[in-house]
Structure 1
Amino acid sequence: MLTNLEVSYRILPRWTIALGGRNVGNKYPTRVPYGIRGKLQNQSLYSYFGPYGFSGGMYYARTSLDF
């Protein structure tokens, strides 16, 4: 299961900050079998066709100001 979370807080009426993450569980797709990977010259450990990215979780901080 893939989990994305974000928590935001409005500091002032027009200024908001947020903390969040995508793929919080740090899930990776199934590894490509060694026999196939050898034919691809070890270009990738993970399949490009997985349901989520092959770079693991991403975490961020964001701020926004409305004009």
Structure 2
Amino acid sequence: MPYVNIKITDEEVTREQKQRLIENTTQMLVEILDKNPATTHVVIDVVPTDNWGVSGKTVTELRNPG
């Protein structure tokens, strides 16, 4: 029973894009690892840019340096 957790920032990701991530991730596990799609779980966590840091700064700061 594979479990995949995808974390992305909350920067205008559409419902359709999330659906494609789930479909394609599931299909990748079927093709590469021969996993059953009925027991493959994909979870997408959408994280506010204030809660995601890179190089000591939040993504909010990096996107809006002014």
Relative to the length of structure 2, the TM-score reads: 0.25
Rg bigger for which structure?
Answer: 1
Relative to the length of structure 1, the TM-score reads: 0.24
Decide which structure has greater strand share.
1
